[in-house]
Amino acid sequence: MTSIAISVDDSFQRMRDKLEAEKLRPHHAMDRYFYRSHLVHEQELEHLIFKSWIYALHASEIPSAGDYQLVEIGEDSIIVARTKTGEITAMHNICRHRGARVCEEASGNKRTFVCPYHGWVYNIDGSLKAARETHVMLDFNAAEHGLKPVNCVTYMGLVFINCDLGAGDLIASLENIREPLGAYDLENAKVAQRKTYRVAANWKLALENYLECYHCATSHRAYAKMHTLKDLEVKSAPVVSKMLDRADKITGIRGISKEHTQIYLDAPSFGACAHTMRYGLFDGFVTGSQDGQPVAPLMGKIKDYDGGAGDFQMGPLTFMLNYPDHCVLYRFIPRSLTETDMELVWFVNGEAVEGEDYNLEKVTWLWHHTTLEDEYIITRNAAGVNSRFFEPGPYHPEFEFTLQQFVHWYLHTLEASLPSTRKWLAGGTAVSTISTEHYKN
């Protein structure tokens, strides 16, 4: 873990002052304060991360009743499990008695979760099954002491969680990208591999890196030689336009080239981002592999390679890059102020057999190597940003446009979380008094 000095004079007032300073220098990178402050980190977790929809796993990874996986976010642990009725549910990995974790292994199959401390027993759906000697406790109601639930939804086999039980409707947002995302038949796809890359940097630096391709031409040579996203739109337009004109016909999927973007401040509800676009590969390349040539059977009902790739966002921290023959999912999870887990999941056709229909190393080569390159530049970015001499520079208006959308949402969310920016109504309901207009400019 990377250690940085703690600011002993940090406070909500200081955070407020830093946020006001950001408004005076729009279209510039954020001050180092937002990557170093422990107070900021706690506000992020409570008001942003744990209120956002986050990819947890693919439904095929817990196929049977009792199967489960843990999702670790910050210092918290969430159990995602398949119940006896076949439903997928999520709950906090915290005993309702004294708080011990009731599940330690990262994945497995259990009939019950048993607290190692005092032996309280929970059913696989989180309900309390038994609590030793509680019959002598007056007014003890077992129904009120199940594991705390976490919002959980499944869309096309992708399972998302949200710790805010009052969160907005992610499924309604994702329905706007049904046609292009559905082309890959992810519900019946196979997880070829998942790998977590622990990066010694604040989570925002890792996410910001993903949201821009300004660095692609210089940092990702293998990626850049194939993908038009590394060029300005005026340069890539002829290739992309040609691909889009033929995409539906060649792939056989009507609507595969659909565009839709409602993310961050434009999302219909907090954290319920949904985005899709299709961009082109340069002539001679048809997929994201070491040589740009096919590495697996075509996904879903796709009939042929159109020279394009689908770009998707689902929630604030989950993204996919989908080629005709395999898909790559990216998820960013803060683990501490100075550490981030970047998880990659590679999907192939559900009927494909490893060693016969595809070679795993060839499927994963490009994005494994690209992620190692990202780790290199992100950690060096973190070292510079943490310097007391760092002075934020201007964003590129095109390459870093989406990054700026994230930053505007982030700063607005942080500002809205501050005590003095909330107005309390009768009954204890809090509403933000901050307009989003500044952050949309």
Segment 241-265, tens digit of pLDDT: 999 999 999 999 999 999 999 999 9
- Whether 196 has a pLDDT exceeding 90, the answer reads yes
Cβ pair 350, 189 in contact under 8 A = yes
User: Would you say 51 and 164 are in contact if contact means Cβ atoms under 8 Å apart?
Assistant: yes
The pLDDT score that the predictor gives to residue 1 is 61
Instruction: Provide the residue type at 344 as one letter.
Output: L
Q: Residue 310 above 70 pLDDT? A: yes
**pLDDT over 80 (residue 396):** yes
The pLDDT score that the predictor gives to residue 430 is 44
- What are 120's two structure tokens? 């309280």
Phi, psi of 156 (to 5 degrees): 55, 40
**Mean pLDDT, the chain, as a whole number?**
94
Task: Report the distance separating Cα 244 and Cα 280, nearest Å.
Answer: 8
Domains of the chain: 1-52+169-441 (3.90.380.10), 54-154 (2.102.10.10)
Whether the pLDDT of residue 137 is over 90: the answer is no
Output 118 or 5, whichever has higher pLDDT: 118
Q: How high is the pLDDT of residue 438? A: 64
CB distance 160 to 78 below 8 Å: no
Region 302-329 average pLDDT: 98
Residues of the chain with pLDDT > 90: what percent? 89
Rounded to an integer, the average pLDDT of 100-106 is 96
Work out whether strand 190-199 and strand 308-314 pair parallel, antiparallel, or are unpaired.
unpaired
Residue 140 and residue 42: Cα distance in Å, rounded? Answer: 33
Secondary element (H or E) of residue 43: helix 38-47
In angstroms, the Cα distances linking 263 to 212, 240, 268, 323, 438 are 15, 23, 8, 22, 17
Which pLDDT score, from 0 to 100, does residue 425 have? 39
For residue 207, the 8-state DSSP code is H
Could you read off the pLDDT of 138-152 as tens digits, one per residue? 888 878 899 999 999
Instruction: Measure the CA–CA gap between 6 and 37, rounded to whole angstroms.
Output: 7
The separation between CA 289 and the C-alpha centre of its own chain, rounded to angstroms, equals 23
Sheet arrangement for strand 112-114: 112-114, 121-123, 128-130
Per-residue pLDDT of 335-393, as tens digits, reads 999 999 999 999 999 999 999 999 999 999 999 999 999 999 999 999 999 999 999 99
Residue 327 in tokens: 């898909």
pTM of the model: 0.93
pLDDT digits (tens, 9 = 90+) for 406-418: 999 999 999 999 9
State the Cα–Cα distance between residues 312 and 314, nearest whole angstrom: 7
Q: Where are any strands of DSSP class E within 165-291?
A: 190-199, 260-262, 274-280
CA neighbor of 255 nearest in space, from 288, 226, 277, 231: 277
pLDDT-based confidence at residue 58 (cuts at 50, 70, 90) = very high
pLDDT at 421: 54
420, pLDDT greater than 90: no
Average pLDDT over residues 123-136: 91
Is residue 349 within 8 Å of residue 297, measured between CB atoms?
A: yes
- Reported as a single tens digit per residue, the pLDDT across 197-254 is 999 999 999 999 999 999 999 999 999 999 999 999 999 999 999 999 999 999 999 9
Q: How many CB atoms lie within 10 A of CB 219?
A: 17
